[in-house]
Structure 1
């Protein structure tokens, strides 16, 4: 297998596959020359391997580069921390007076402008911004408890 231009790992895998196929083969038809049959199996597996490589080549990267690839998912600790912060934020928003909470939700969750929020809740833009600023402060203070 190595003489057929395969890497050491691939040659070892295909050699193992060869013997597995040989053990599962029909012994009656291969009694004349079992060595030739063994070489035929290995040759066919090598040909199949080369065909697969040409059809869908695989880029091999060194182990150092592979371990340096970052997992896009957050760690379990980060996910738990974020859930705790979200729960605290939700509790902090629930503590706010109705008008302040409504202004904050319209601004942050519904992506309205300050002027649009002010119009919806019936206050001036200056007073509306003060309510939103107070909500931010309150949530930030509550998140410091974590």
Structure 2
């Protein structure tokens, strides 16, 4: 049995959605259940042995069953109205496992990239970035001009960035 689902959708989707709306569903829910009806038929078409010769009746029966299931679920759901602040407090700000692994890999690559730098460049980077010194303070500490120190820092950032882009 081969049904023209696209033709059935074009000709009957609005009728199914309208029927669902008349049964008390919102427009969005009716549209979702209408799509679910066609997806259900597409994913699991009726067996030829069922003798189903009226595809429209079959679609309406599926839509009806989906509506009943939806309304049963809605009856047991507990709804709570929350303000935006209360809703934001629910979110878990802890990183997920993938983020933790990715960040650890990046940190390890950064450590390896720092170890590859020449001593003076690494020292300038550590003083500026990790020691939170300004470029002028870093330059005075390592005994170089601010222009040369800035060049060392730029080289360090480019080196680290190149190593991290390989991740």
Pairs within 5 Å for 1:15-54: none
Root-mean-square deviation (Å): 2.2
Please state whether the residue corresponding to 1:83 is helix, strand or coil.
helix
CA distance in 2, matches of 1:136, 1:85: 14
Q: Cα deviation per residue 1:61-98 (whole Å; 9 max; x = unaligned)?
A: 359x8887421100000011000000000000000000
1:144 aligned onto 2:165: yes
1:95 aligned onto 2:113: no
CA distance in 2, matches of 1:140, 1:61: 47
1:121 aligned onto 2:142: yes
Structure 2 unaligned blocks of 5 or more: 1-78
| Residue number in structure 2 paired with 1:47 | none
TM-score (norm 2): 0.48
TM-score (norm 1): 0.54
Q: Cα deviation per residue 1:75-130 (whole Å; 9 max; x = unaligned)?
A: 00001100000000000000000000000000000100111110111110000000
Structure 1 unaligned blocks of 5 or more: 1-59
CA distance in 1, matches of 2:161, 2:101: 18
Q: Please identify the structure whose Cα radius of gyration is greater.
A: 1
Aligned length: 86
1:73 aligned residue (76, 81, 94):
94
CA distance in 2, matches of 1:123, 1:132: 12
1:61 aligned onto 2:80: yes
CA distance in 2, matches of 1:102, 1:116: 13
CA distance in 1, matches of 2:164, 2:129: 17
